[in-house]
Structures are given as C-alpha cells and as structure tokens.
Amino acid sequence: MKKLLTILVDCPDQKGLIYKITSVLYQNELNIIKNREYVDLDTNRFFMRTEVEGLIDEAELAAELKEALPDQSWISVVSDRKKKLVLLVTKENHCLGDLLVRNHFGEWNADVKAVIGNYEVLRNFTERFDIPYHCVSAEGLSREEHEQKMIQTIDQYAPDCIVLAKYMRILTPDFVKHYEGKVINIHHSFLPAFIGAQPYKQAYDRGVKIIGATAHFVNHHLDEGPIICQNVIPVDHSQNASDMARAGKDVEKMVLAQALKLVLEDKVLLSGNKTVVF
C-alpha cells in the first residue's frame, strides 16, 4: 500500500539542488503531491518541503537524499502517522479547553495522550474528555527535582510534541535540552515586547493600542525561542490590564491552535532563532 511521506530539507544553497532531490524521488518511483522551496540569502541555506506518495521506507529515503545532498544538510522524512501530544498546564483553562475540544473532534492528525499539571485544578475538566491527568506538585521540591518528576511522567508517553498550555513555570536548560525542538509555548504578548511576567500590566502601563499573543518553540532564553505564529487585537485607553487579559484569551487560543496545526503538519523548519513556515 502506498504511503504519504513528507520530506523536509535544510542544506547549504547551491545550483542543482532541486534536480538532485527530484532525481532521488524519480528513481524510487515516488509521485510528488506538493512542493515548496525557500532560499535564505542571509545564511545561504536552502529549505524545501515536499509531500510524496509511494512505496519506500522513510529511513532508506532519508539516507539516499543525504548522500545526494551537500555536507551539513539536514533531512527529515516523516510518515502521516498520528503524532502524540502531551499538554502541560497550571491553573488557566482557556488554552487547554480549546485544545481538548479540537482534539476531541479530530481536527489534527494527532492525539493528546495526557495532561500534566502542577495543581489539581484542571483534573476534573481534563478527565471529562477521557484523557489521563497527572498532578506533579512542585511543593517542597527544587526546580530540578520537580522537573525530574515531570520528565518521568512525560516520557512514559513518548510525545512528539509538548505544549505549554499556560504552564506558568520557567523551564531549566536541562529540561529544554531533553526535549529540544519539541516544546511549544504560548506567550500572552506580541514578542519581543513585554517578555516575562505580567505582560498585560506592562502593556497597560505603556499605553499600547494593540495586544497580541506569540506561539514559539522554547529555548534556553525566556520567551525568546523561534517564533511560529503571532496575532494581535486592538485595545484602547478605556481598558485596564484586567480587561486586556480577558480580551487576550481569545487571541492566545487562536495563535496556539494555529501554531500547533503548522507543527503537526510538518510545515515548520527551524533556522537558528527563526522559523521557516511553509
């Protein structure tokens, strides 16, 4: 039975790259369904996303493409299998609720395998969707001790992606490294403005006329990871910080869902501290 595969390529730019890639696909009798390319002139890197249909093992195809392409190339070949998600939460329910409803109605080619929180607040809501909820309390533990318990709980699900659905704890470099390139956060600000705590209070104090939200990959720097998706809504002088926070919940849900959809469809490639989104 033919498989649908997605090929992602990030390599030094040079002449003939598309010919080299498509030659490998032709030799393996693979039919191209969709294809997009992009060249970053600042870094001289070539990016390509291609959907193909045919009969070949993913690892075998990746190896053949690697051999055909220049040194320092990154190639990923992924099937259309359902991806596994784990959601991390604290007490806020709006992003969690939106994601669980979308998951329930099968909007993505993915399954939420578990929700993990550091409080019990969202257990009852989560379990209404027949999804396991784990409370890993941080009380009395160092940040490192708590994260080790979190890792033990997360790893039993072997997730493809971890979503911080308003998980209000700063992650250590060791935790981020353990899940490098897999952790997505929603920040209630149009980054790089108003990094860190209380961004709506910061925005109100500054008298902004728009507020927004940013979904990004998590790296070792607080709220500075590669940005996947952003959006904004207008505000005015009559709204205080609490009003802005209430209004911001809708844009947070929308941006997080959009970013997660792009990642799950393998449409996002990392390029340093930026992303290429096809």
* Positions marked active-site: 223
53: nearest Cα among 7, 20, 9, 110: 7
Question: Alpha-carbon distance 269 to 278, whole Å?
Answer: 8
* SS3 label, residue 3: strand
Q: What angle do CA 123, 149, 90 make, to 5 degrees?
A: 35
Quote the tokens at residue 220.
Answer: 């070792």
Nearest alpha-carbon partner for 165 in 85, 272, 265? 85
Across the strands, what pairs with 52? 5, 32
Start-to-end CA distance of the chain, whole Å, equals 28
Using alpha carbons, select from 106, 102, 240 the residue that is nearest to residue 165.
102
